[in-house]
Amino acid sequence: MSFTYPGKDNKPALDGVDLHIPAGATVALVGENGSGKSTSAKLLAGLYLPDEGQVLVGGVPTSEIDRQAWFSRIANVSQDFYHWPLTARMNVAIGRTDADPTEERLTAGVRHADAEDLIEDLPRGWDTLLARGYQDGHSLSGGQWQKLGIARAHFRAGQILVVDEPTAALDAKAEQQAFTRIRALAAGGQTVVLITHRLHSVRSADLIYLMEDGRVAESGTFAELMDPATVPDGRFRDMYEIQRAQFASDDDERAVPLQKGPTVT
């Protein structure tokens, strides 16, 4: 499918992109800034309609099924997901406004997101207004909002979970936990579309698409993309190696202050 944002008529954001997303699979979209990952996710979710091509679900074009019904099957944990100036309760319950926000469902959502303490520590618990600059308003950090976003997605209980950079604001440990939880959603039969810059996180994906300038440059499993025999050009492999060097130097830095006692070899 192809798509050009209004006012950018010369430069399509997506140019002949063909993505296959098997039901129940975890599919990763990776690639540089502006390569078209978020745009692909928005077309998939039906937020925008493609200029050329279509989104098919089980062979049926989404344009032929009720837009509301299709939208209702998708849960988003997005880069630009909204921080509503509402209570903590409403910020989770807004995930699905036609569902009863019972204590049980809300609690299951925050437990899933490892955000139970976060809610407990709020001055008025679930009834705390999450808004800076309002009377009695309480500010959350980026990482805390991300956790609430995962709770919201759990409450929404969509069949397709679109995760666009969920962990950008999380620390390393919280990131690991967030991915574990996202994988748990996938294990429950949900289809997961995971958009991330951290290639370390996509090793266990069923399928990886490397996007480049609005096109799919490479696709396959992690093992396939890392294998010079399968992908001689190896752009994913190059990116992964650069990031691996980064992990290694991070590890070195972390290791230094720990070397207090005698080194055992």
Ligand X SMILES: Nc1ncnc2c1ncn2[C@@H]1O[C@H](COP(=O)(O)OP(=O)(O)OP(=O)(O)O)[C@@H](O)[C@H]1O
- Which residues form the interface with ligand X (CB under 6 A)? 5, 8, 13, 31, 33-39
Contact call for residue 196 and Mg ion (CB under 5 A): no
Which range in 2-10, 37-45, 63-71, 245-253 contacts Mg ion by CB under 5 A? 37-45
Q: Which is nearer to ligand X, 40 or 128 (CB)?
A: 40
Minimum gap (Å) between residue 163 Cβ and ligand X: 13
Is the distance from CB of 163 to CB of 151 less than 8 angstroms?
no
3-state secondary structure of 88: helix
Q: Which is nearer to ligand X, 34 or 188 (CB)?
A: 34
Out of ligand X, Mg ion, none, what residue 181 binds, judged by CB under 5 to 8 A for its kind, is none
Nearest to 17 by CA among 9, 7, 29, 8: 29
Out of Mg ion, ligand X, none, what residue 166 binds, judged by CB under 5 to 8 A for its kind, is none
Q: Which is nearer to Mg ion, 38 or 144 (CB)?
A: 38
Minimum gap (Å) between residue 164 Cβ and Mg ion: 6
Minimum gap (Å) between residue 259 Cβ and Mg ion: 39
Q: Which is nearer to ligand X, 38 or 62 (CB)?
A: 38
Give me 124's structure tokens.
Answer: 């008025």
| Of 4, 26, 35, 38, the one binding Mg ion by CB under 5 A | 38
Minimum gap (Å) between residue 173 Cβ and Mg ion: 24
Task: HSE, CB side, 13 Å, CA atoms: give it for residue 116.
Answer: 8
3-state secondary structure of 7: coil
**Start-to-end Cα distance in the chain:** 56
Task: Read off the amino acid at residue 49.
Answer: L
- What is the rounded distance in angstroms from the CA atom of residue 88 to the CA atom of residue 111? 14
Cα angle vertex 95, ends 91, 99, to 5°?
110
DSSP letter (8 states) at residue 15: S
Q: Which is nearer to Mg ion, 42 or 112 (CB)?
A: 42
Minimum gap (Å) between residue 14 Cβ and ligand X: 8
Out of Mg ion, ligand X, none, what residue 134 binds, judged by CB under 5 to 8 A for its kind, is none
Tell me the pairing of strands 191-195 and 160-164.
parallel
Nearest to 51 by CA among 82, 87, 19, 13: 13
Out of ligand X, Mg ion, none, what residue 35 binds, judged by CB under 5 to 8 A for its kind, is ligand X
Radius of gyration of the chain (CA): 20
DSSP letter (8 states) at residue 216: E
Neighbours of 125 (CB within 10 A): 12
Q: Which is nearer to ligand X, 34 or 137 (CB)?
A: 34
Minimum gap (Å) between residue 243 Cβ and ligand X: 14
Minimum gap (Å) between residue 71 Cβ and Mg ion: 20
Give me 220's structure tokens.
Answer: 């396959």
Out of Mg ion, ligand X, none, what residue 13 binds, judged by CB under 5 to 8 A for its kind, is ligand X
Q: Which is nearer to Mg ion, 158 or 166 (CB)?
A: 166
Chain residues in the site for Mg ion (CB under 5 A): 38
